[in-house]
């Protein structure tokens, strides 16, 4: 099936209020253009240089989400245009984004990344680390970032009950954080969970942003 047909299938499975981030990393401009012509506007990239090259050559109404592990020395390149940074996994990174955003004259939207998977290789705060950072409260002085929610990845497993449990627990944590720290902040509303193989479970467990790549674009084409 074509990219446009794949997109329509995914859209059909997403309830109102859940947005699709089409994960276009490692795919050429032509693939993104086909998805764009079909009506997709939010695209996710994980490499700063690749995303910046695409930003410079593709339509300017595309909303670019950075979904990879962001190194502090690369922040300045994406801050002028990025719509949402999904994977903020430390206060230091948050502060560096704030500094670069101030220089660019922007307020950059960010999600805090939680580590919920059984694998040790994935990045992110533990639940306790995230609560500690929020309780300390230094983030409240960062006027050029806006915390909009949480992001995570489930364990890489075929055990759907484990995935459901991880997402369910994260959703409960999200509601707790919302109540304790962002009760009057309407912008803190996003839960970015769910990818090509588990987005249906994620949607059932409260996801507002799903990051789907291979189900739309097929296998990766390295560029």
User: Would 223 be classed as within a structural domain?
Assistant: no
Asked whether residue 222 is domain-assigned, the answer is no
CA geometry: angle 164, 187, 92, nearest 5 deg: 80
- 69 found inside a domain: yes
pLDDT tens digits, one per residue of 117-127: 988 766 899 99
Whole-angstrom Cα Rg for the chain: 17
Encoded tokens for 78: 């994406």
- The reply to whether 56 falls in a domain is yes
Domain that holds residue 74: 3-217
Q: How far is CA 50 from CA 58, 74, 84, in A?
A: 12, 12, 16
Q: What are phi and psi of 186, to 5 degrees?
A: -65, -20
Short-list 210, 217, 195, 222, CA closest to 4: 217
Please report whether residue 54 resides in a domain: yes
- Does 204 fall in a domain? yes
| Rounded distance between C-alpha atoms, residue 38 and residue 16, angstroms | 18
Strands (DSSP E) contained in the chain are 19-23, 42-45, 63-66, 84-88, 108-115, 145-153, 190-192, 209-212
What residues are paired with 108 via a beta bridge?
Answer: 145
23 falls within a domain:
yes
pLDDT per residue rounded down to tens, the chain (223 residues):
899 999 999 999 999 999 999 999 999 999 999 999 999 999 999 999 999 999 999 999 999 999 999 999 999 999 999 999 999 999 999 999 999 999 999 999 999 999 999 887 668 999 999 999 999 999 999 999 999 999 999 999 999 999 999 999 999 999 999 999 999 999 999 999 999 999 999 999 999 999 999 999 987 654 4
**Beta carbons of 24 and 32 less than 8 angstroms apart:** yes
Report pTM. Answer: 0.95
* Model confidence pLDDT, tens digit, residues 195-214: 999 999 999 999 999 999 99
Nearest residue to 166 via CA among 129, 112, 111, 117: 117
Task: Decide: residue 199, CB within 10 A, 0-12 exposed, 13-18 middle, 19+ buried.
Answer: buried
How many other C-beta atoms lie within 10 A of the C-beta of residue 115? 19
Which CATH number goes with the domain that contains 118? Answer: 3.20.20.10
Residue whose C-alpha is closest to residue 79's, from 115, 114, 55, 43: 55
Count of domains in the chain? 1
Pair of tokens at residue 218 = 């097929």
């Amino acid at each position: 099936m074509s990219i446009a047909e794949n997109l329509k299938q995914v859209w059909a499975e997403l309830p109102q209020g859940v947005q699709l981030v089409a994960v276009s990393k490692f795919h050429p401009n032509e693939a993104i253009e086909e998805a764009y012509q079909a009506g997709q506007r939010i695209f996710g990239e994980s490499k700063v240089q690749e995303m910046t090259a695409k930003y410079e050559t593709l339509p300017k109404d595309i909303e670019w989400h950075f979904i990879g592990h962001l190194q502090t020395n690369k922040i300045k390149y994406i801050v002028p245009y990025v719509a949402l940074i999904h994977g903020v996994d430390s206060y230091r990174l948050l502060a560096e984004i704030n500094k670069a955003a101030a220089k660019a004259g922007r307020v950059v939207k960010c999600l805090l990344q939680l580590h919920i998977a059984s694998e040790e290789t994935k990045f992110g705060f533990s639940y306790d680390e995230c609560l500690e950072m929020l309780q300390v409260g230094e983030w409240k002085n960062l006027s050029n970032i806006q915390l909009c929610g949480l992001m995570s990845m489930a364990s890489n497993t075929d055990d759907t009950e484990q995935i459901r449990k991880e997402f369910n627990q994260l959703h409960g944590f999200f509601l707790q954080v919302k109540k304790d720290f962002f009760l009057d902040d309407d912008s803190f509303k996003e839960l970015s969970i769910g990818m090509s193989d588990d987005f249906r479970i994620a949607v059932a467990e409260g996801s507002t942003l799903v990051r789907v790549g291979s189900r739309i674009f097929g296998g990766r084409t390295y560029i």
